[in-house]
Amino acid sequence: MPNILLTRVDNRLIHGQVGVTWVNHLGANLILVANDEVAADPVQQNLMDMVVPDAIQTRFFSIDKTIKVIHKAADRQKIFLVCRTPQDALRLVKGGVPIKELNIGNMHFSEGKEQIASTVSVDEDDKKTIRELLDLGIKVEVRRVPDERVEIDIKKFV
């Protein structure tokens, strides 16, 4: 069983909050980014690696590769799993990745989205996806950084 400490939805993927603040809080030694686009883009990977301390490993896998290899993770790997969208998280869960808790940290506002928290905006598909994750028994929270309290009760918005 892979040692997944937390799974986070953040459309920025790895940045200062993820690469330093969350990693230190969780005690993670591996950030696994599960995203099809970034898995195929070494430039984005290199930019994200710049904000991660040298002692922390990073992996950039497609959603399908994550599903295929996550169960081969070594016990010593303390994994912080990061994906861009709740839809990616749901694909991981449906693919057998043992996600118990989902932190939603950042989902940018765009046309057709409703802002439900300071850094989280959702459309109808996002709401449907989050409802499905909740129905599957996944604990879902909205929180930017570890030392702040959960910003909203997500169940009220989906």
For residue 100, pLDDT over 90 is answered with: yes
Report residue 62 CA to chain centroid gap: 13
The first and second tokens of residue 4, run together, are 């997944």
Q: Which fold has domain 4-146?
A: Fructose Permease (3.40.35)
Higher pLDDT, 158 or 7: 7
Give the separation between CA 19 and CA 158, rounded to whole angstroms. Answer: 29
Interval 22-46: pLDDT, tens: 999 999 999 999 999 999 999 999 9
| CA torsion through residues 115, 20, 37, 62, sign | negative
Q: Report, as residue numbers or ranges, the catalytic residues.
A: 15
User: Given this model, what pLDDT does residue 155 score?
Assistant: 83
User: Given this model, what pLDDT does residue 157 score?
Assistant: 84
Interval 62-87: pLDDT, tens: 999 999 999 999 999 999 999 999 99
Mean pLDDT for 131-150 is 94
User: Given this model, what pLDDT does residue 150 score?
Assistant: 86
Interval 2-13: pLDDT, tens: 999 999 999 999
Contacts of 24 (CB under 8 A, 6+ apart): none
Identify the residue whose tokens are 């790895």.
14
Compute the mean pLDDT over every residue in the chain, rounded to the nearest whole number.
Answer: 95
